[in-house]
């Protein structure tokens, strides 16, 4: 029986040294706050729950008056206590008036400091509005305080997951798979290669990909052909998965993951990757009919069992 092992490596990309308003690294996930204010005034805020140091992110606002009375002097003022997030243009929204069923939407862009410490930081929002009672008389301003928790990560993550057999034996084929996933950014000009010393491959082991969208897994597989020579002692073969790519700021990155494969002597009965069966020195191909499997190897199997029994008796006598 073949046991498959998973190997996972996380690649961290060197953070960019500058940013521009046209280079956005959108977050892997976002949160939405829906707050109902006084007199059926609904505020919806969508923001990233994690951002990257040195990148730019956006906070979206949608404000709708679902009441029958108008609201005036609507304002949202955003502040970051530790100055980790810097507004690209404005840090506040002001609306003169929203009549019944009317709405307003806007997006504010922020840059994350390159020196930001990893962890959770907050953007505080001071909301204020004036209700126009019966659409005539202004009421005292209603004020509400909100806080947006945003986690800062120093470096984007690219994951490599490799699935390989726990052990292999001679005269057989085995499959190894490698999957790459970018958690935070889109990648370009990717190459992925699987290499191993003293091992032959069937089919392709080198793959090129022009681009890979974030959170989109890409998987390759390769067929390993083990040596024909008999192996008397087990030893480890290092299989390497080599990934190169260009990140969202144009930097080229390379990472190598080494997967240890144990090459061991073949036991009396082994199952191959394609469904074949080794019984001693006899191989039953997966496409052989049931009648052939039952009829042809039966004598050979019996002979092997008798021979093994005789050898054990000789060893015990000696």
CATH classification of the domain holding 147: 2.60.40.3880
The reply to whether 179 and 225 lie within a common domain is yes
Mean pLDDT, the chain, whole residue set:
80
pLDDT per residue as tens digits for the range 28-42:
468 999 999 989 999
Q: Is residue 140 part of a domain?
A: yes
The reply to whether 147 and 178 lie within a common domain is no
Q: What is the pLDDT of residue 271?
A: 58
Q: Is residue 113 part of a domain?
A: yes
The reply to whether 138 and 39 lie within a common domain is yes
The reply to whether 144 and 164 lie within a common domain is no
Asked which of 86, 120, 153 is the last residue of a domain, the reply is 153
SS3 20: coil
The reply to whether 161 and 129 lie within a common domain is no
Q: Is residue 231 part of a domain?
A: yes
Q: Looking at the predicted structure, is the pLDDT value of residue 98 above 80?
A: yes
Q: Is residue 302 part of a domain?
A: no
Q: Is residue 83 part of a domain?
A: yes
At residue 18 the predicted structure's pLDDT band, cuts being 50, 70 and 90, is: very low
Q: What is the pLDDT of residue 251?
A: 84
Q: Is residue 62 part of a domain?
A: yes
Q: What is the pLDDT of residue 28?
A: 44
Helix/strand/coil percentages in the chain, nearest 5: 10, 55, 35
Domain limits for position 204 = 4-14+157-268
Query: Which positions ≥6 away from 18 have C-beta within 8 Å?
Result: 54
The H-assigned helical ranges of the chain are 290-295, 297-317
Provide the percentage of residues in the chain whose pLDDT is more than 70.
74
Which tokens is 52 given? 């990257």
Average pLDDT over residues 3-22: 42
Q: Is residue 185 part of a domain?
A: yes
Q: What is the pLDDT of residue 12?
A: 45
* Long-range contacts of residues 230-234, Cβ cutoff 8 Å, at least 24 apart: 230/170, 230/265, 230/266, 231/169, 231/170, 231/263, 231/264, 231/265, 231/266, 232/265, 233/265, 234/167, 234/262, 234/263, 234/264, 234/265
Looking up tokens 């490599």 gives: 160
pLDDT per residue as tens digits for the range 231-248:
777 878 888 999 999 988
The reply to whether 175 and 236 lie within a common domain is yes
Q: Looking at the predicted structure, is the pLDDT value of residue 4 above 60?
A: no
Between 160 and 288, name the one with better pLDDT: 160
The reply to whether 122 and 202 lie within a common domain is no
Total-model pTM = 0.61
Nearest to 265 by CA among 241, 230, 218, 294: 230
Hey, which of 18-27, 128-137, 290-299, 308-317 has the most confident mean pLDDT? Answer: 128-137
| Cβ contact 127:144 at 8 Å | yes
Go through the chain and tell me how many residues it has.
318
Q: Looking at the predicted structure, is the pLDDT value of residue 104 above 60?
A: yes
pLDDT per residue as tens digits for the range 140-152:
999 999 999 999 9
Domain count, the chain: 2
Asked which of 268, 283, 311 is the last residue of a domain, the reply is 268
Among 65-74, 138-147, 212-221, 275-284, which stretch is predicted with the lowest mean pLDDT? 275-284
Q: Give the CATH number of the domain where residue 186 resides.
A: 2.60.40.10
| Cβ contact 193:245 at 8 Å | no
Q: Looking at the predicted structure, is the pLDDT value of residue 314 above 80?
A: no
Nearest to 115 by CA among 26, 16, 186: 16
Strand partners, 68: none
Q: Looking at the predicted structure, is the pLDDT value of residue 84 above 90?
A: yes
At residue 201 the predicted structure's pLDDT band, cuts being 50, 70 and 90, is: confident
Between 225 and 296, name the one with better pLDDT: 225
Asked which of 109, 132, 153 is the last residue of a domain, the reply is 153
The reply to whether 106 and 40 lie within a common domain is yes
Hey, which of 82-96, 147-161, 218-232 has the most confident mean pLDDT? Answer: 82-96
Please give the C-alpha separations between residue 269 and each of 225, 254, 296, in angstroms, as whole numbers. Answer: 19, 41, 16
Which tokens is 151 given? 């986690």
The reply to whether 145 and 178 lie within a common domain is no
Between 45 and 226, name the one with better pLDDT: 45
Cα(77)–Cα(123) distance, rounded to whole angstroms? 10
SS3 29: coil
| Cβ contact 241:6 at 8 Å | no
At residue 15 the predicted structure's pLDDT band, cuts being 50, 70 and 90, is: very low
The reply to whether 136 and 216 lie within a common domain is no
At residue 230 the predicted structure's pLDDT band, cuts being 50, 70 and 90, is: confident
The reply to whether 149 and 163 lie within a common domain is no
Among 8-17, 114-123, 221-230, which stretch is predicted with the lowest mean pLDDT? 8-17
Cα(49)–Cα(258) distance, rounded to whole angstroms? 33
The reply to whether 137 and 193 lie within a common domain is no
Which tokens is 318 given? 């000696």
Cα(216)–Cα(183) distance, rounded to whole angstroms? 8
Cα(91)–Cα(18) distance, rounded to whole angstroms? 21
Among 63-67, 120-124, 176-180, which stretch is predicted with the lowest mean pLDDT? 176-180
Q: Is residue 35 part of a domain?
A: yes
């Amino acid at each position: 029986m073949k046991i498959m092992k998973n190997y996972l490596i996380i690649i961290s990309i060197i953070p960019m040294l500058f940013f521009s308003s046209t280079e956005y690294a959108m977050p892997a996930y976002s949160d939405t706050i829906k707050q109902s204010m006084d007199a059926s005034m609904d505020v919806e805020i969508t923001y990233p729950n994690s951002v990257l140091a040195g990148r730019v992110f956006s906070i979206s606002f949608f404000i709708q008056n679902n009441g029958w009375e108008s609201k005036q002097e609507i304002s949202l003022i955003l502040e970051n206590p530790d100055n980790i997030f810097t507004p690209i243009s404005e840090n506040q929204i002001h609306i003169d008036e929203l009549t019944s069923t009317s709405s307003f939407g806007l997006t504010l862009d922020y840059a994350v400091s390159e020196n930001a410490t990893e962890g959770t930081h907050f953007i505080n929002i001071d909301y204020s509005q004036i209700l126009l009672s019966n659409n005539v008389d202004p009421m005292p301003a209603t004020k509400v305080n909100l806080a947006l928790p945003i986690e800062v990560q120093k470096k984007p993550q690219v994951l490599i997951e490799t699935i390989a057999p726990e052990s292999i034996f001679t005269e057989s084929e085995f499959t190894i798979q490698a999957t790459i996933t970018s958690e935070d950014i889109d990648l370009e000009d990717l190459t992925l290669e699987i290499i191993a010393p003293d091992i032959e491959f069937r089919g392709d082991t080198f793959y090129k990909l022009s681009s890979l969208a974030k959170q989109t897994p890409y998987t390759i597989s390769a067929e390993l052909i083990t040596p024909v020579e008999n192996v008397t002692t087990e030893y480890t073969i290092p299989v390497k998965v080599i990934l190169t790519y260009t990140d969202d700021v144009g930097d080229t990155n390379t990472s190598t993951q080494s997967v240890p494969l144990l090459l061991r002597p073949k036991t009396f009965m082994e199952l191959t990757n394609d469904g074949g069966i080794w019984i001693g020195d006899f191989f039953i191909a997966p496409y052989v009919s049931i009648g052939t499997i039952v009829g042809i190897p039966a004598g050979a199997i019996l002979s092997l069992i008798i021979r093994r029994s005789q050898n054990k008796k000789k060893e015990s006598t000696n």
